[in-house]
């Protein structure tokens, strides 16, 4: 279940990933707004009655198990837009609205392997006393962001922080069937963060209303993760069989 510590071990990872220089931006939403945007059989997961949508720009370092680094895939910027759900089998996890990435080989490969909605984008991450993330989609409807945050002091993180960041599976659809992708990584090292500049059109691209309040922001220097193969989800039978 969601929380600071991993839910399970990924003993046979397909990929090793590092999610570095990462910022969490979390917005609270009315659960009904998010529920309308989920596939049948999925329920929005809530914390104290609120649903959340998160935007997570970061630098991805990527390696396939048993293979040397692949040119164009090893290291690149990425930004995820995600929400939190309970799948048809009751397990909590992440539902991705989109994953922007600057690596075209990764975009094509991950769509095929994991069925996740990657989008090719022109992106950059500049790390100094502040961290600036820029992205603009190369294909489809124009959308992107220009975000600058100032990392602050390390923090323990609240229960909400760990509920949002400590997610140990992503839900996706592979060959017409819903699957989970297990993930294992150490607890996130979290820092306070101040949003210096926030310009984005990704929420609008997914038909989400403009949030009334600024996001809850946290920064992390990163963590190393192991991801497993997609596993078919289990659909619970209704009371009628």
Map out the domains of the chain as residue ranges: 15-232
Residue 90 neighbours by CB under 8 Å, 6+ apart: 236
Dihedral sign from CA coordinates of 185, 103, 74, 221: negative
Q: CA nearest 6: which of 229, 228, 231, 234?
A: 228
Which residues in the chain land under pLDDT 70?
69-72, 234-241
Q: Which residues pair with 80 in a beta bridge?
A: 56, 99
| Whole-number pLDDT of residue 234 | 58
Question: Is the distance from CB of 143 to CB of 137 less than 8 angstroms?
Answer: yes
- Using alpha carbons, list the distances in angstroms from residue 191 to 37, 59, 97, 155: 31, 17, 25, 5
Fold of the domain built from segment(s) 15-232: Acetoacetate decarboxylase-like (2.40.400)
For residue 104, give the 3-state DSSP assignment.
Answer: helix
> Quick one: pLDDT at residue 238?
36
155-197 pLDDT, tens digit per residue, is: 999 999 999 999 999 999 888 889 999 999 999 999 999 999 9
Give this prediction's pTM: 0.93
Burial string for 185-198 (b: 16+ CB within 10 Å, else e) reads beebebbebeeeee
């Amino acid at each position: 279940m969601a929380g600071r510590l991993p839910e399970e071990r990924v003993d046979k990872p397909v990929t090793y990933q590092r999610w570095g220089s990462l910022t969490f931006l979390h917005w609270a939403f009315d659960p009904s707004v998010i529920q309308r945007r989920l596939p049948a059989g999925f329920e929005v997961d809530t914390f104290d009655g609120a649903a959340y949508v998160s935007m997570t720009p970061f630098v991805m370092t990527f390696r396939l198990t048993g293979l040397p680094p692949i040119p164009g895939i090893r290291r690149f910027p990425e930004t995820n837009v995600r929400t939190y759900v309970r799948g048809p089998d009751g397990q909590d996890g992440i539902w991705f609205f989109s994953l922007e990435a600057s690596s075209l080989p990764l975009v094509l490969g991950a769509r095929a392997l994991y069925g996740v909605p990657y989008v090719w984008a022109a992106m950059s991450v500049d790390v100094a006393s502040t961290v600036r993330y820029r992205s603009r989609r190369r294909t489809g409807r124009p959308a992107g962001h220009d975000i600058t945050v100032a990392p602050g002091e390390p923090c323990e993180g609240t229960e909400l922080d760990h509920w949002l960041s400590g997610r140990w599976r992503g839900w996706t659809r592979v060959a017409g069937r819903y699957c989970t992708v297990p993930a294992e990584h150490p607890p996130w090292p979290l820092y306070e963060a101040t949003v210096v500049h926030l310009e984005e059109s990704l929420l609008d691209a997914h038909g989400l209303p403009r949030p009334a309040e600024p996001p809850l922001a946290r920064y992390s220097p990163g963590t190393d993760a192991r991801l497993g193969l997609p596993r078919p989800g289990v659909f619970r039978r209704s009371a009628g069989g």
